Every structure is written in structure tokens, then in C-alpha cells.
Amino acid sequence: AQSVTQPDIHITVSEGASLELRCNYSYGATPYLFWYVQSPGQGLQLLLKYFSGDTLVQGIKGFEAEFKRSQSSFNLRKPSVHWSDAAEYFCAVGGSSNTGKLIFGQGTTLQVKP
Amino acid sequence: ETGVTQTPRHLVMGMTNKKSLKCEQHLGHNAMYWYKQSAKKPLELMFVYSLEERVENNSVPSRFSPECPNSSHLFLHLHTLQPEDSALYLCASSQVLAGAKNIQYFGAGTRLSVL
């Protein structure tokens, strides 16, 4: 079955510390992978995406993610977290199907301590 | 700045009311989506439209009725809802349905409360 797992429901880091949010997926074909961020009361904003090629992808706001096929993972990282990064983060997987369906993880809530 | 606009942002309705949610995209996209976001649950895809034709109906109850009059507008008509339908309803659009251009852009959502 196709699925996305974000093992950490809630993470707290200090401002300036590094961050890694985990994402594991199960998908039968070549996956397209996405990270979205949602601030309170807002919709989802695309941080970055992976379709093919270089397995380390750069996104907006200083985020990056690495696709590891052998581990079925697409973890999100940021070297130094800012207070404004506090939000909910969603990993999603899609593919070449003709329905445009994305499968989302349950999300990880990031809290940033001053 | 989002190219996908949803109205209203908040809606409170009784179980016997009829209301509609509106979504408009200014991105020139051909595909539009409705999602339901409930607390502590992953986003649930409800409907997908491509070039104004419905291509996915993800086992959604008939009290939710979508309408896509053109590629820029998407509506979700609501009637005789249940309290468990209270959620954030998100609209999204993408250039095409499949492949590397299926990057979905989301609106800010409508927060729906059913009393």
C-alpha cells in the first residue's frame, strides 16, 4: 500500500540549532516527493520537491532534503532554525498516475525555543 | 502571495443549512483539487478536476457536491452536513494532473464548523 510516515508528531528545537524532520514512504513506482509547510490558519506552502536527478534538493527558506532510495526516506533539514520556522511540516509522495493524487503524512509540528 | 484564493475563510453552519465554498486560481492551471484537513489526521483528497472534468471522487458522501464551471473556479456545495464534517477545507491547483508538472499549490483554506 502507498503511504507516508512522519515518525515525529512534535519536535522542539532551540533557535539556531539544526533541524531534521524524518519522512519514510512506501510507493510502488518511482516516487515524486514533496515537503510542504503550514503556518497556523494558512494553507500549505511548497518548500521543495524531488522528481529525479540529484538526490539532495534545495528549497526555499534555507531548507534542503535528501532522497535515499535504499531507505525509502526523504528527510528535511535546516542547519540553523529561526523562530519563524515554527509551523507544521508535511511530507507527501506522488507519481506518474493520471489522477494527480498526493499521499500526505500526518505532519510534524515544530516548536522553536528562544 | 498565493495564486489560489478561497472564500469564505471561516464558515459556521447548522446541519440543515446549504452553503458553498469557493476556490479561484490565478495561475493558469488545468487541474484543481479539494482536500479535507481534520485534526490529527493526514490530508484527505476529496475531489480532483482536470479541464473541468471530475477525474477522482474519493468515496466522499453525497452531502458534498463539487462543481467546476471552468478551469479557474471550483466550488464545494454543502448540504445537511454532520458535526464530524467540521474541518479545514483546502483547495489546490496544478498545471497538469500527472508527471513532473503536478506541483500542487494550495489556498489558505476555509475553516468550517458544523453545529
Of all residues in chain A, what percent are helix, strand and coil, respectively (each to 5)?
A: 10, 50, 40
- HSE at residue B14, side-chain half, CA atoms within 13 A, is 2
Q: How far is A70 from chain B (nearest CA, A)?
A: 22
- Of A52-61, A69-78, A88-97, B19-28, the one with minimum mean pLDDT is A88-97
How far apart CA A35 and CA A29 sit, in angstroms, is 19
List Cα–Cα distances, B87 to B9, B44, B54, in angstroms: 12, 11, 23
Report the pLDDT averaged over residues A86-108.
86
Residue that is written with C-alpha cell 480532483 in the block? B48
pLDDT, tens digit, 9 for 90 and up, residues B77-108: 999 999 999 999 999 999 987 766 788 999 99
Q: How far is A45 from chain B (nearest CA, A)?
A: 7
| Interface-testing mutation among A101, A103, A108, A109, with chain B (most B C-beta atoms within 10 A) | A101
**Interface residue B60 vs chain A (CB under 8 A):** no
How far apart CA A100 and CA A95 sit, in angstroms, is 8
How far apart CA B86 and CA A27 sit, in angstroms, is 30
Strand bridging mode B110-114 / B10-13: parallel
Q: Do A41 and B42 touch (CB under 8 A)?
A: no
Backbone angles phi, psi at A86, to 5 degrees: -60, 120
Q: How far is B63 from chain A (nearest CA, A)?
A: 22
Is the CB of residue B82 less than 8 Å from the CB of residue B92? no
Residue that is written with C-alpha cell 519514510 in the block? A24
Q: Which of A84, A93, A87 shows the shortest CA–CA distance to A31?
A: A93
Check residue B1 and give its pLDDT.
Answer: 47
How far apart CA B51 and CA B79 sit, in angstroms, is 26
In chain B, what residues touch A36 (CB-CB under 8 Å)? Answer: 106
Q: Is the pLDDT of residue A29 over 80?
A: no
Percent of chain A with pLDDT over 90: 77
Which of B41, B56, B107 minimises the CB distance to A99? B56
Within chain B, which residues score under 70 in pLDDT? 1-2, 99-100
**Interface residue B99 vs chain A (CB under 8 A):** yes
A100 or B48: which leads in pLDDT:
B48
Nearest chain B alpha carbon to A90? B42
Nearest chain B alpha carbon to A100? B97
List Cα–Cα distances, B92 to A7, A72, A85, B49, in angstroms: 26, 26, 23, 10
Check residue B96 and give its pLDDT.
Answer: 81
Q: Do B43 and A101 touch (CB under 8 A)?
A: no
Count Cβ neighbours within 10 Å for each residue of B76-108 and write b for 16 or more, e otherwise. bebeebeeebbbbbbbbbbbbbbeeebbbbbbb
* Helix, coil or strand: residue B100: helix
Enter the C-alpha cell of residue B44: 484527505
Q: Is the pLDDT of residue A102 over 50?
A: yes
Q: Residue A69 CB: number of other CB atoms within 10 A?
A: 10
Q: Is the pLDDT of residue A1 over 90?
A: no
Q: How far is A114 from chain B (nearest CA, A)?
A: 26
B50 or A14: which leads in pLDDT:
A14
Check residue A92 and give its pLDDT.
Answer: 94
Nearest chain B alpha carbon to A3? B42
| Interface-testing mutation among B102, B104, B106, with chain A (most A C-beta atoms within 10 A) | B102
Q: Is the pLDDT of residue A97 over 70?
A: no
